[in-house]
Amino acid sequence: MGAYILRRLLQLIPVVVMSSVLVFLLLHLVPGDPAETVAGPDATPDVVAAVRHKMGLDQPLAVQYGRWLGNIARGDLGTSYISHLPVIDLVGYAFPATLQLTLAALVLALVISLPLGVLASLKQASKLDLVVQGYTALGLGVPNFWLGILLILVFALFLGLLPPGGRIDPTQNLAIGLKTLILPAVTLGIQISAVFTRFVRTAMLEVLHEDYVRTARAKGLPERVVVVRHALRSALVPVVTVVGLQFGRLLGGAVVVESVFAWPGVGRLIIQAVEQRDYTVVQAGLLGLVAVFLLINLMTDIMYAFLDPRIRLGAGMG
């Protein structure tokens, strides 16, 4: 298992390097000059040129990239062009909020999808199965921003049960912190739960017809043991991969949800930085999201290999 993990870590190195190149070049291909934004609308060409030189934007792209990558390796993400605060402080404040939101949405999606998917597979073509499939169709069809606005109208404005937006750190006030988390987590988790439910149902339907499941039933084992211990464990192998891949979708969806609920996460930070052409903040935010996504994929591969030993054995023989 250790050799498999080491091999996967080595495979991540070129992916991380290529991702950093794409993040760096993406912003430099966007039309406009951040030096003009920093200097102000009334700045003279000489002032803009001086600002551009100070920011290092008059250097070749290769030099700029090398300097930027070297600073990142030393833990220096630069300084915001607009707020003049260290970028590591801005991103360090926003990332816990985004991770809190995405993890809460992921847990909610799994809590909803696992029982629904299993029950729908056990009651195939029944009224329960039709209700579950209707839920998945609705969950996939409703946009995040529309659902978020609807939840705010119902639970915040009409009923007054939950705050309409903002975030309170749970370490400061647990009760209020959880209240601010509920609406954005539900908004982000519903759509993903629909995806998970479909995959769980499909995986369970395939497994329930396998010979070893029929054998377990023929031995007289209780249905709960057959479903949980024999069928569900095998069905979780493809589901784990889907969960890992959908985590990246959660991070992307968090950008919209954070804007709707004024959630001070990385997505909202990146949107504000893009509007202000604050390159250093955008680059750090995007690179951080990529790093988290790659880390989750690594953890998914490890879990996948744990559930199905044939994967790591096959990798070792290759």
Lowest mean pLDDT among 78-92, 132-146, 156-170: 78-92
Q: What is the pLDDT of residue 189?
A: 92
What rounded mean pLDDT belongs to the chain?
Answer: 84
Q: What is the pLDDT of residue 219?
A: 81
pLDDT (mean) for 200-213: 85
Six token digits for residue 29: 């291909």
Assess whether pLDDT exceeds 60 at residue 228.
Answer: yes
Q: List Cα–Cα distances, 14 to 9, 21, 213, 244, 297, in angstroms.
A: 10, 11, 42, 20, 15
Domains of the chain, start order: 2-73 (no CATH), 92-307 (1.10.3720.10)
Assess whether pLDDT exceeds 90 at residue 2.
Answer: no
Give 32's pLDDT tier (boundaries 50, 70, 90). Answer: low
pLDDT digits (tens, 9 = 90+) for 111-157: 999 999 999 998 888 999 999 999 999 998 888 889 999 999 999 99
Q: What is the pLDDT of residue 278?
A: 82
Assess whether pLDDT exceeds 90 at residue 107.
Answer: yes
Assess whether pLDDT exceeds 50 at residue 292.
Answer: yes
Six token digits for residue 265: 């996460």
Assess whether pLDDT exceeds 90 at residue 179.
Answer: yes
> What would the DSSP string read from start to end of the chain?
-HHHHHHHHHHHHHHHHHHHHHHHHHHHTSSS-HHHHHH-TT--HHHHHHHHHHHTTTS-HHHHHHHHHHHHHTT---B-TTT-SBHHHHHHHHHHHHHHHHHHHHHHHHHHHHHHHHHHHHTTTSHHHHHHHHHHHHHHHS-HHHHHHHHIIIIIIIS--S-SS----TTT-HHHHHHHHHHHHHHHHHHHHHHHHHHHHHHHHHHHTSHHHHHHHHTT--HHHIIIIIIIHHHHHHHHHHHHHHHHHHHHHHHHHHHHTT--SHHHHHHHHHHHT-HHHHHHHHHHHHHHHHHHHHHHHHHHHHH-HHHHHHHHH-
Total number of residues shown for the chain: 318
Task: Compute the distance between CA of residue 133 and CA of residue 142 in angstroms, rounded to an integer.
Answer: 14
Task: Compute the distance between CA of residue 161 and CA of residue 167 in angstroms, rounded to an integer.
Answer: 15
Question: CA nearest 185: which of 97, 269, 115, 92?
Answer: 97
pLDDT (mean) for 72-96: 86
Q: What is the pLDDT of residue 171?
A: 85
Q: What is the pLDDT of residue 310?
A: 56
